[in-house]
Amino acid sequence: MSDFCLFVSDLHGKVNRYEKLFAYLEKEKPANLFIGGDILPSSVLHSFRAGEIKPDFVTDYLASRFRELRDKLGKQYPRVFIIMGNDDPKIEEETLIEFEKQGLWEYIHGKVVSLDQYQVLGYSYVPPTPFLLKDWERYDTDHTVQPGCVKPEDGFRTFHTEENDFQITISDDLKRLAESVDSERAICLFHSPPYHTGLDRVDMDGISIENSQADIFVGSKAIKTFIENHKPLLTLHGHIHESSRLTGVWKEKENTTVSISAAYEGPGFAMVKFYLSAPFDAERIIL
């Protein structure tokens, strides 16, 4: 058993980023890879909205490249834990699940799975944003939204949604998932960062929306409360690309919990290398 891990997020279907990732995986051979959402190109959503045949990025590229990697690495192929993010149309979820059955990765949104003596929890939803795609948005702790944001029921989704689904909050989901988690051994793969932390900062200083000052923090209050109450070993986040530029922080520690973001604003992308035995010693690599 090795506790050498790699964490990436927000690759947004950029093939040049994925190719750098695959080259690194082949060379360094981590035992575990965590992918924190926003994995697909925007062309998937654009084609859906235009009523066109969607590009099959997961089948034609992502699964094909992971299969090639597995063939090369054999027994050294990593366990791959993956979730989607708010920019990923949920219509691709079924495809991710199909390739999970082939052993390429483990799709863990809404699940808790074992990793040696640890547990891994996956969760994709983020609080309401100004954007219209609502496949992976939920109300956070109550049924209000920040100024300038669109309510979940007022946007659009790529799949049928029951009316009562709009009433479920991130807080509701995390209370359910917490029942299956041993906090001291938990690794949480979230797309959203916890609210009002060093991993959660947007570039909205001095901007007024609907006669109110825009909040410069847009992460999840429910995720922050979950971390405070349950104190997991490690939480992994993405979503807010500019946060580390504005705060200078991409990892932090609160009580016994280490929280890390792999979201990055720049021409390249960030990979975070860490060991489960010492997660705060994580190293961020920009490629």
Q: Could you give all domains of the chain from N- to C-terminal order, each with its CATH number?
A: 4-286 (3.60.21.10)
pLDDT in tens, 67-98: 999 999 999 999 999 999 999 999 999 999 99
Position 133, amino acid: L
Measure the CA–CA gap between 176 and 191, rounded to whole angstroms. 18
pLDDT at 257: 97
User: Which residue in this structure is represented by tokens 């947004």?
Assistant: 12
CB 259 within 8 A of CB 274: no
The pLDDT assigned to 35 comes to 98
Confidence (pLDDT) at 274? 98
Q: What is the pLDDT of residue 213?
A: 75
Percent of the chain whose predicted confidence (pLDDT) is above 70: 95
Name the one residue in this structure whose structure tokens are 């149309």: 89
For residues 275 and 238, give the distance between their C-alpha atoms in angstroms, rounded to a whole number: 19
Average pLDDT over the chain reads 93
Instruction: Give percent of the chain with pLDDT exceeding 90.
Output: 82
pLDDT at 54: 59
Is pLDDT above 90 for 282? yes
Amino acid identity, position 223: I
Residue 49: pLDDT band with limits 50, 70, 90: low
Q: Which amino acid is at 219?
A: G
* Side chain identity at residue 283, one-letter code: E
How many alpha carbons fall within 13 Å on the CB side of residue 187? 27
Tokens 């979201």 belong to which residue? 263
The mean pLDDT value for 190-194 works out to: 98
C-alpha span between 31 and 29 (Å, rounded)? 6
CA distance 274 to 6: 6
Q: What is the pLDDT of residue 116?
A: 93
Q: Tell me: pLDDT of 229 over 90.
A: yes
Residue 53 pLDDT > 60, yes or no?
Answer: no
Lowest mean pLDDT among 30-44, 48-62, 247-261: 48-62
Residue 146 CA to residue 219 CA, distance in Å, equals: 11
Q: How much is the pLDDT for 47?
A: 59
Using one digit for the tens of pLDDT, what is the confidence trace for 132-165? 999 999 999 999 999 889 999 999 898 888 878 8
Cα end-to-end span (Å), the chain: 28
pLDDT value, residue 78: 98
pLDDT attached to residue 5: 98
pLDDT in tens, 203-228: 887 777 777 777 899 999 999 999 99
Backbone angle region of 91, left / alpha / beta, with phi > 0 → left and psi within -120 to 50 → alpha = alpha
Predicted confidence at residue 48, as pLDDT, reads 59
Per-residue pLDDT at 55 exceeds 70: no
Task: Quote the CA–CA distance of 35 and 159 in Å, as a whole number.
Answer: 23
Q: What count of other Cβ atoms lies within 10 Å of the Cβ of residue 87?
A: 24
Q: Which of 111, 108, 142, 135 is nearest to 220 (CA)?
A: 142
